[in-house]
Amino acid sequence: MILIFGGAYQGKLDYAIEHYNIKEREIYTCEMDSMKLDFDKKVINHAERFAYACVKEGFNPKDILEEYMEKLRDKVIIFDDISQGIVSIDPVERAWREANGRCMTYLGLQAEEVIRVFCGIGSKVK
């Protein structure tokens, strides 16, 4: 597994496409209101949206990722890092922020490679 993370609009998907020879048809983009993951695609983009949907429905997204780890081993997973900035007063948004960080931490430990993308430039973390 390859984990790519960074702030919003920093070029994470473009980096993945360029460096890992990804085709458009190989990308699954998560939606804010869906806990769905498409394991048939090579890339899971905007995984923070999956985490939000889980938290909103009362599930722990890290537990779900652990359950499906074998299906994730050959994927490129892309997260927006939402840990920076002002902490929301909304309890769901605060829980999402924590859950997203825990998911990234778990996947980072499992990943063969971890890349942080800032201004379109990838830096290897692991």
Residue 85 has pLDDT above 90, yes or no: no
In whole angstroms, what is the distance from residue 48 CA to residue 98 CA?
11
Q: In this structure, which amino acid lies at residue 6?
A: G
Helix boundaries (H) for 42-115: 47-56, 61-67, 69-72, 91-110
Any residues with CB less than 8 A from the CB of 119 and at least 6 apart, and which? 10, 11
Tens digit of each residue's pLDDT (9 = 90 or more) over 32-59: 999 999 999 999 999 999 999 999 999 9
Domain count, the chain: 1
Provide the whole-model pTM.
0.95
Q: What percent of the chain has pLDDT over 70?
A: 100
Q: Residue 83 is part of a domain; what is its CATH number?
A: 3.40.50.300
Q: What is the pLDDT of residue 13?
A: 98
Tokens coding 6 = 């960074």
Average pLDDT score over residue span 76-88: 92
Domain that holds residue 75: 2-124
* Among 21, 13, 15, residue whose Cα is nearest residue 123: 15
